[in-house]
A and B are shown apart, each in its own frame.
Chain A
Amino acid sequence: MMAGVSRETWISAVLVALLVAVPLAATAAGEPFYVTLATRIAILALAAVGLNIALGLGGLVSFGHAAFFGLGGYVAGIFATHAFNGAPLPFGFAATTAMPVIWLVAIALCGLVALPIGAISLRTAGVYFIMITLAFAQMIYYFAVSWPDYGGEDGLSIYVRNSFPGLNTAQPLPYFLLCLGLLAAGMVLFWCIQGSRFGAALEASRQNATRLAAVGITPFGIRLAAFVISAMMTGLAGALFADLNRFVSPSMLSWHMSGELIVLIILGGKGRLFGPLAGAMVYVLFEYALGGITERWQFFLGLILLGVVLFARGGLLGLLAGKTRHG
């Protein structure tokens, strides 16, 4: 690799320092709102890191990752509701408010759902892949809308945030640190995958699937594994998001959400470890800063996105740090 520390590393370090320092300072200053804002950034970044495995490394533009984000959210919401009412879950399982259990269930469920969706969607490519992933996500969206047991269109409130052993999750700062830890874990996993043999095959499938097949690796299996891992990480972020808002509704499953996750990645820099974090920071801060002034803040976001797509294909990180190279 390059001698010394690259510019991308410096910029990434600054992003992380900001994400950690601002909530600490805000807590000290008695401004919990900014902690919540940072938590939102961490969770959206985690969801986008997940999508970045499929989209950034594998070139699989899934327009249906809201399905997994929302499913994760509903797992958190349904567990909380059953635990609150003291009613057992379907199949007689006891409900719990323990986050580690909820996370595992969310991850496992998203993996199980992603397997058939991926297996069918990956038979197509390009724009058909985009459309079929969208179609699956919309099916799940309408299912949630029309299922009255868990709030239907109105969504489901989580009266008490789910718990984590040894932490008071109701306090903004501990919950932020929890989400930050999971984001870090997600990014370490992304980094491992990117550098691994699997990552090499996945990136080759994006660049030239015929080449991959011509060395004897079937692209389908590689892509399916990436899609499932990607969905599981996004699902975990969904469970965190529901607990952050103490609310989950079909909007978490909608195609707007899928689009938002893609925007985060394109904005920050696709295929880059810190791209989703950069994208989520810009997105959330934009939403906060401009959202207070005008309801039409997304118009200005659109302009930025247009600029990035036209002039900075590597996203904001690419613009600031230059091109990545494979050693």
Chain B
Amino acid sequence: MAEPILQLSEIRKTFGALKATDGVSLDLRKGEIHALIGPNGAGKSTLIHQICGSIRPDSGTIRFLGEDMAGLDMAARVRKGLGRSFQISSLAPEFSALRNVMLAVQARQGSSYRFFRPVAGDRSLTGPAMAMLERVGLEKRAKVPAAELSHGERRQLEIAIALALEPKAFLFDEPMAGLGPEGSKRLTGFLDGLRHEAPILLVEHDMDAVFALADRISVLVYGRIIATGTVAEIRSDPEVRRAYLGDAA
């Protein structure tokens, strides 16, 4: 089997007496959606922060495309090809939707130290940015400041920004949160096709979406992965049912 795109080995992180991440090993392979689920307080956010580079693990290694990520900050990891969305939308609020995506396009082109040519009307920026907005269905709202977009539109914009980075792997942190049934369904269909562009590590609470999308699921409880497997395996795992799924499955 080919080397995984993203590989976590024995990641540990403690805050005082709390073992937030307790020896997590996990990988993300080409073409798959790997869902990470777990009850609140299981340590999902802490794990995401460590993958993205905003928290440094106490021990363990994170390899991305075969390269050790230790010592690289968030921006450097993104430049390597790790595209992420945030659990709570994180946008430039005064910028229009289009300019938010244009920022990602210019970042991918590596051209943020150009001081003279105006960005407005620069087709090499607006073209790809508009295309990304069309992909997520936000093209009619291109000129609206991010602060004035609805919650659901901001989630769409986050996805458009991640797409514009043309990453080697996506890391989506609860993209369905607050979308409502209709929005969740649409985004589920969208992510379904996206896995062939780049694999997706999906942190999500919406179990319908997870069961519909995931090739594999890992269950995180108290900082430990208690099970990894296909949808069918996870649904029938007695330990998972007890710890997390309850009667929902």
Binding site for B on A (CB under 8 A): 1, 192-193, 195-201, 203-204, 207-208, 210-219, 222, 225, 325-327
Which residues on the B side are within 8 Å of A218 (C-beta)?
73, 75-76
A193 to B113, CA, bound (A): 10
Assuming the contacts A218-B73, A218-B75, A325-B145, asked whether A212 and B103 have C-beta atoms less than 8 A apart, the reply is yes
Which residues on the A side are within 8 Å of B179 (C-beta)?
none
A198 near B113 with CB under 8 A, answer: yes
Q: How far is the CB of A211 from chain B (nearest CB, A)?
A: 5
Which of chain A's residues has its CB closest to B85's CB? A214
Which residues on the A side are within 8 Å of B125 (C-beta)?
197
Could you give 20 example pairs across A and B, Cβ below 8 Å?
A: A196-B119, A197-B112, A197-B117, A197-B125, A200-B102, A200-B112, A201-B106, A210-B86, A211-B100, A212-B75, A213-B73, A213-B75, A214-B74, A214-B78, A215-B78, A216-B107, A222-B112, A325-B145, A326-B145, A327-B99
Q: How far is the CB of B126 from chain A (nearest CB, A)?
A: 10
Interface hub of B74, B92, B106, B116 (most chain A Cβ within 10 A): B92
Which residues on the B side are within 8 Å of A207 (C-beta)?
92-95
Which residues on the A side are within 8 Å of B120 (C-beta)?
1, 195, 327
B37 interfacial by beta-carbon distance below 8 Å: no
B241 interfacial by beta-carbon distance below 8 Å: no
Assuming the contacts A214-B78, A326-B145, A327-B143, asked whether A198 and B103 have C-beta atoms less than 8 A apart, the reply is no
* 12 more CB-based (< 8 A) A-B contacts, given A195-B119, A211-B92: A195-B118, A196-B115, A197-B112, A200-B106, A200-B119, A201-B112, A204-B103, A211-B103, A213-B73, A215-B103, A326-B96, A327-B99
B114 near A196 with CB under 8 A, answer: yes
A209 to B226, CA, bound (A): 35
B227 interfacial by beta-carbon distance below 8 Å: no
Q: How far is the CB of B4 from chain A (nearest CB, A)?
A: 22
Which residues on the A side are within 8 Å of B93 (C-beta)?
207-208
Which residues on the A side are within 8 Å of B117 (C-beta)?
196-197
A211 near B113 with CB under 8 A, answer: no
B91 interfacial by beta-carbon distance below 8 Å: yes
A222 to B103, CA, bound (A): 13
Which of chain B's residues has its CB closest to A195's CB? B118
Which residues on the A side are within 8 Å of B165 (C-beta)?
215-216
Instruction: Give the 9 A-B residue pairs with the shortest CB-CB distance, closest first.
Output: A216-B78, A195-B118, A215-B107, A216-B79, A218-B75, A207-B92, A213-B75, A201-B112, A215-B104
Q: How far is the CB of B79 from chain A (nearest CB, A)?
A: 4
Which residues on the B side are within 8 Å of A222 (C-beta)?
112
CB-contact partner of A198 in B52, B102, B114, under 8 A: B114
A192 near B116 with CB under 8 A, answer: yes
B44 interfacial by beta-carbon distance below 8 Å: no
Which residues on the A side are within 8 Å of B161 (C-beta)?
214-215
Which residues on the A side are within 8 Å of B113 (C-beta)?
197-198, 225
A222 to B117, CA, bound (A): 17
CB-contact partner of A217 in B86, B91, B94, B112, under 8 A: B112
Assuming the contacts A197-B106, A326-B96, asked whether A210 and B90 have C-beta atoms less than 8 A apart, the reply is yes
